[in-house]
Amino acid sequence: MSTERTDISLGRTNGFIDLDQIPVIEPVPGCKLRTPHGQHLMLSYLEMDAGAEVPLHSHPHEQGGILLRGKLQLTIGDETRIVEQGSLFLIAANVPHRAVAVAGPAVILDVFSPVREDYARLTNRYVPPPLGS
């Protein structure tokens, strides 16, 4: 008997996750994410094309992550670093941050707490559109 409860239409799930069944959000060009979540925690599987940028932004949610593949130029607050596969990071609530996929595509697994209400509704409230859009 399965204990899995799912409302895949909005990414809410409890149990095993099939990413192919989770709706895709594209907050900015070249960045596709899927955000399965429970009541208090959200995962964000982010795929970035080479050169894609998540512009400088902040939000009231804590965010942690791991770079699964590729290389990023990552800015957290006033510090910018080039990070590679396996790098971990934590971003406190309301701290400005930015990411650019360098030297090819990148895949990142982010975790948000509390759940980002905008992503849960399959929208984007905090990441600004690219300049000229």
User: pLDDT by residue (tens digit) across 96-106?
Assistant: 999 999 999 99
User: pLDDT by residue (tens digit) across 22-60?
Assistant: 999 999 999 999 999 988 999 999 999 999 999 999 999
Task: Name the H helices within the chain.
Answer: 117-120
CATH of the domain at 108: 2.60.120.10
Number of domains in the chain: 1
Tokens standing for 18?
């099939």
Looking at the domain assignment, is residue 50 inside a domain? yes
Looking at the domain assignment, is residue 126 inside a domain? no
Name which of 106, 114, 66 is nearest 87 in CA terms: 66
Looking at the domain assignment, is residue 128 inside a domain? no
